[in-house]
Structure 1
Amino acid sequence: MKMIKTERLILRDLSYGDAENIEELAGDYDVAKTTLTIPHPYPKGVAQEFIASMKIAESEGKVVIFSIERKEDSSFIGIININIQKNYHRGELAYWIGKPYWGKGYGTEATKAIIEYGFEKLDLNKIFATSFTNNPGSWRIMEKCGLKHEGILRQHVKRLGEYIDLTYYGLLKDEYLNTNK
């Protein structure tokens, strides 16, 4: 069982018990529209399927995924993960936080913790992330956590009927080590 503790959060194994909370929080249109893969509306039972698929991917070494929980009341507030590309020693960071918990610094706190995990435990050489350019809350988290802007991928994806630009950020292990000595 993996667990990361921060000042206000516990990052813990994703569990089937999280399904109802995932459906409730990720089902919010404002959360879903900021991600590429969260369905809207969020169908009942899909969270169980998502959790099962993540457990398989994790057992195959393709992802490391955590539920984000507040220490103060054990509330499930979101998910954070790194999709691992072993051949290249890199990982793609992804996260979402439920809308009631936006603007409180939880995303930044969880992201800093998983970046440390990615470099120190997974021995990755690079961690990168993308965000919709129209989602400043997400790319500001990346900036606060030391990721460097690497470019814009124009009309790179289509979401909810609209072509969307992605902003791309990355952090190299040596950059991480130089700022965290």
Structure 2
Amino acid sequence: MKKITTKRLILRKPSLNDLNDLFEYAKNPEVGPSAGWLPHQTIEYSKEILNNFIRSEDVWAIELKAEKKMIGTISLYTRDFEDAILGIVELGYTIGRNYWNMGYASESVSAMIEFAFKKLKINKIVCGHTIDNERSKKIILKNNFKFTHLDDTRIFSVDSIKEVLMYELDNPYKKEHKK
């Protein structure tokens, strides 16, 4: 997993040292439900999730350089075999509540998009947000994603989430996408 550095952030492989930071933001009832997962009730549960992140090659910790603290996660994952063949990945991200409206999510999303297209040579990135998650919608639109459809096939831990607005972004660095 490649470490990605931006002006204020380091996107890196998660480690067990991130446990307290993860639990701190993941237990907040404003954070998880807007992304489709329930707030973490115990640090043991956060450790289980963190161990899954560590085993994965798809999830980066978002570290705030100034504080040397994990403030969220960002992921690029392949949804299925067909997407893998077509070079399509899905982007997901979460930022702790104390770090909202500071541009950190946009900064990490922008860096991940550039990494996916330039280094991984991905053809397309898809991304979505729940209907009421306006903060995520702004980040997605700011990064030039185009709306494609309403997805009502996903299953979430949060029962109230039934639909996700989906967007996509084609690789602008590939010749076949240039006009």
Normalized against structure 2, the TM-score is what? Answer: 0.86
My pick for the range that moved more, 159-168 or 2-11, is 159-168
Which residue of 27, 37, 62 maps to 1:68?
Answer: 62
Residue ranges of structure 2 left out of the alignment (5+ in a row): none
**Structure (1/2) with the larger strand percentage:** 1
Partner Cα separation in structure 1 for residue 150 and residue 163 of structure 2 = 7
Alignment match, 1:128: 126
What is aligned with 2:9?
A: 9
Match of residue 39 from structure 1: 38
Gaps of 5+ in 1: none
Q: CA deviation at 1:42?
A: 3.0
Q: Distance in 2 between matches of 1:117 and 1:24?
A: 28
Label 1:102 to 1:87 Cα distance change in 2 as closer, same or farther (>3 A): same
Measured against aligned partners, the alpha-carbon deviations of 1:69-121 in whole angstroms (never above 9, x if no partner) come to 11222222110010134223111100000000001111000000001111112
Partner SS state of residue 56, structure 2:
helix
SS at match of 1:7: coil
Distance 2:173 2:24 in 1: 38
What does 1:9-158 correspond to in 2, within 5 Å?
A: 9-36=9-36, 38-58=37-57, 63=58, 65-84=59-78, 85-154=83-152, 156-157=154-155
Give the TM-score taking structure 1 as reference length: 0.85
Distance 1:104 1:176 in 2: 32
The RMSD of aligned alpha carbons is 2.4
Query: Partner of 1:29: helix, strand, or coil?
Result: coil
2:69 is matched by which residue type in structure 1?
S
- Tell me if the contact between 2:151 and 2:166 (Cα under 8 Å) persists in the aligned partners: yes
* Aligned sequence identity (%): 28
- Per the TM alignment, residue 133 of structure 1 is displaced from its structure 2 partner at its CA by 1.0
Count of paired positions: 174
Cα distance, 1:160 vs. partner?
3.0
Cα 1:74–1:178 shift into 2, 3 Å: farther
User: 1:158 & 1:132 partners in 2: Cα distance?
Assistant: 11
